[in-house]
Chain A
Amino acid sequence: MDLTIQRRFVTPMAGESVQDIAARALPGEPLDSAVDQIRSWNLHIFAMRKPAGLILGSDVVFVEPPRR
């Protein structure tokens, strides 16, 4: 059975920063824009967490906006 398409995500690799993740996940985008998008799609990491932006090894990092 095929899986329905759900919101795409990546998981951080050891030592990765948001810039690293943005460059990996959105290679066609200018880096600043890619970082802004990653941040805006992952408020659970970049807004609601204290300290904001602390990236954990176990994080789910979305690489696209919500689908609905």
Chain B
Amino acid sequence: MFDVIVRNGLVVDGSGEAGFRGDVAVKNGLIAAVGTVSGSARREIDAGGRVVAPGFIDPHTHFDVQLLWDGAARPALEHGVTCIVPGNCSLSLAPLKAADRPKVVGMFQQIEEMPPEAFTQAFDWTWEDFAGYRDAIARNLSINVAPLVGHSVIRLWVMGEAAQQRTATPDEVAAMQDVLRECLKAGAVGLSTSFVDLDEHGRPVPSRFADFPELDALSAVLGEFGRMLQCVPEFYDVDITIARIDQLSELSLKHGIPTTFSPVFDNTSTPDNAPRILARVEEQFARGARVWPQMQTRPIDISFSLLRPSLFFARLPRWVRVLRQPLEARLHALNDPETVAKMVEDLGADGGQRMMGGLIVRGGDAAPAQMVGRALGEIAAERGQVPAQALIDISLEHGLDVAFLAADMGHEATDRIGPMLAHPLVHIGASDGGAHIASFSTYGDTGYLFSEFVRKSGGLSLEQAVRKITAETADIWGLEGRGRLTPGHAADIVIFDPDTIDRGEERPVFDMPGEGMRYVRDARGIDTVLVNGEVAYTAGAYTEARSGVVCT
């Protein structure tokens, strides 16, 4: 007697081989049989007309805090994602001394656009070390979690304030090695670092103060465990990115570790950049290095209102300062003609036409219907204003509750992206799941992979796409026993309709602690998701199953 048999599906097992009609049987949380399965089960699922595939693995997320109140990392799981990697970009919630919590919360707010209430209203912060964090999330998981530990927090743990002031002494480096070793023993699947990020005060995060010998020493510890080094390079500069690829490759070769960097964006205005990066990756792999570039499937867009700070204004420090203030002070500033004049001036001689003219008014509770769907430049011209001034005035006229969409900001040329995603050395990832929640939806990239690059463009076959986000990801990260529908592997299974799998429209919801807003996309075409053999999501609803684990 099996626990579950999924019958009559098109089994796409993660290997990349052609799918076949058959059954998948599950017992004790593991795949027990694949093929034509006789016998019975406590639960049988008819997958006729559907694909049966390994659960998807998302290697670049920031669900670190959400997991403390939402063990399903909603809506990631309903998109077929059964394993997530949080702790990217040098930030994790352990190891972290209580006194340093405000610093790291500030970094999460600044870098990942997480609201402060997410850290204060939904859970009791009881741990300091990595094992404590692991145990805190493990109590309520519906999804599997393979957590990274952040370089910045390890530096803070060992060096305190000096972590953001200087390079480390040999003793401090040795102490960091010990801390990293403990984290890896406690279940971390690797170390993340960042070469680009700033904290909420505009200071480089601690990992950026580390010299190369420090990273080398930490990579030596990763080598003891064969674990991953993840980094976010200066992705906006191709020469620096290539230099980072070379550094990562040296570490990979010296210590025998896998490395990965993200994101890699394609932009038709700089069409040579992504190909140059991939060419360097090919050269380094040919030397034996493992340096996996992560590329997201979705185009870049940002939604924002003046109700809260946004990534959109990252290159406008004055706007950031104004929008970071509490509401009353922000309104005061936006009503101050002198301040507004300077803000408009910051946009340059065209008053923001180039940066803001193409913004689309997307709605919001107070958005006037006649503006929705129209370009800000056009509306501004009607008002006799430059776009930057119009953006501020329209927002003020409607209580700041008018949302704007900056669409097509890059990475949108399907005919270019498809072949890159299909490249054998490109690691599909970089979703940023759970981050930037008020700027864009970081959920549904897997659905978009199938709708845009399998069905629409044919850039990848169904089997190829499944393999890229299942077995290949598990292999890259060393997640043994996951990513394949093979007897003995974990029964992480997604059942989906290949003709309809997709991401839904982006929409705002208010389900964050403190009724905080985030953008989400619902799943389309996903029937059922099993995590370690338990049905965690089916027929459009989450179940009570809590079968997720911290997996290594």
| Residues in A lying within 8 Å of B, measured CB to CB | 1, 3-4, 6-7, 9, 11-15, 44, 50, 54, 56-58, 60, 62, 66
B69, CB-defined interface residue at 8 Å: no
Check if B209 sits within 8 Å of A44, measured CB to CB: no
B244, CB-defined interface residue at 8 Å: yes
Among the listed B202, B234, B243, B283, which residue makes an inter-chain contact with A7, where contact means beta carbons less than 8 Å apart? B243
Given A9-B243, A12-B211, A56:B204 Cβ within 8 A = yes
Main secondary structure of the interface of A (DSSP, over half): loop
The interface residues of chain B lying within 8 Å CB-to-CB of A3 are 246, 283-284, 287
Query: A11: nearest residue on chain B (CB-CB)?
Result: B212
What are 13 A-B pairs with beta-carbon distances under 8 A? Answer: A4-B283, A6-B242, A7-B242, A7-B243, A14-B167, A14-B211, A44-B237, A50-B202, A57-B166, A57-B209, A58-B195, A58-B209, A62-B239
Check if B204 sits within 8 Å of A60, measured CB to CB: no
The interface residues of chain B lying within 8 Å CB-to-CB of A57 are 166-167, 208-212, 214
Total A-B pairs, Cβ < 8 A: 60
12 new A-B contacts at CB < 8 Å, known A44-B234, A58-B207, A60-B247: A6-B246, A7-B239, A7-B243, A15-B167, A56-B204, A56-B208, A57-B166, A57-B211, A58-B208, A60-B240, A62-B243, A66-B239
In the complex, what's the smallest C-beta–C-beta distance from A16 to chain B, in angstroms? Answer: 9
The interface residues of chain B lying within 8 Å CB-to-CB of A9 are 243
B215, CB-defined interface residue at 8 Å: yes
B314, CB-defined interface residue at 8 Å: no
User: How many B residues have CB within 8 A of the partner chain?
Assistant: 28
Check if A11 sits within 8 Å of B239, measured CB to CB: no
B286, CB-defined interface residue at 8 Å: yes
The interface residues of chain A lying within 8 Å CB-to-CB of B209 are 56-58
B318, CB-defined interface residue at 8 Å: no
The interface residues of chain B lying within 8 Å CB-to-CB of A12 are 211
Pairs A-B, 7 closest by C-beta atoms: A57-B211, A1-B286, A57-B167, A60-B243, A14-B167, A11-B212, A56-B208
* Complex CA distance for A13 and B237, rounded to whole angstroms: 23
The interface residues of chain B lying within 8 Å CB-to-CB of A60 are 234, 240, 243-244, 247
Mask: chain B, 372-387; 1 = CB below 8 Å from A; 0 = not: 0000000000000000
Central interface residue in A6, A15, A60, by most chain B CB within 10 Å: A60
Given A14-B167, A44-B234, A58:B283 Cβ within 8 A = no
* Complex CA distance for A4 and B243, rounded to whole angstroms: 12
B416, CB-defined interface residue at 8 Å: no
The interface residues of chain A lying within 8 Å CB-to-CB of B211 are 11-14, 57-58
Query: B236: nearest residue on chain A (CB-CB)?
Result: A44
In the complex, what's the smallest C-beta–C-beta distance from A4 to chain B, in angstroms? Answer: 6
Among the listed A1, A6, A13, A15, which residue makes an inter-chain contact with B243, where contact means beta carbons less than 8 Å apart? A6
B280, CB-defined interface residue at 8 Å: yes
* Complex CA distance for A13 and B212, rounded to whole angstroms: 8
Mask: chain B, 194-212; 1 = CB below 8 Å from A; 0 = not: 0100000010100111111
Mask: chain B, 254-294; 1 = CB below 8 Å from A; 0 = not: 00000000000000000000000001100110110000000
Query: B231: nearest residue on chain A (CB-CB)?
Result: A58
Check if A6 sits within 8 Å of B280, measured CB to CB: yes
Query: B209: nearest residue on chain A (CB-CB)?
Result: A57
Instruction: Report B126-171 residues with CB < 8 Å from chain A CB.
Output: 166-167
The interface residues of chain A lying within 8 Å CB-to-CB of B247 are 11, 60
* Complex CA distance for A11 and B242, rounded to whole angstroms: 14
Central interface residue in A13, A50, A56, by most chain B CB within 10 Å: A56
* Complex CA distance for A54 and B210, rounded to whole angstroms: 14
* Complex CA distance for A60 and B210, rounded to whole angstroms: 12
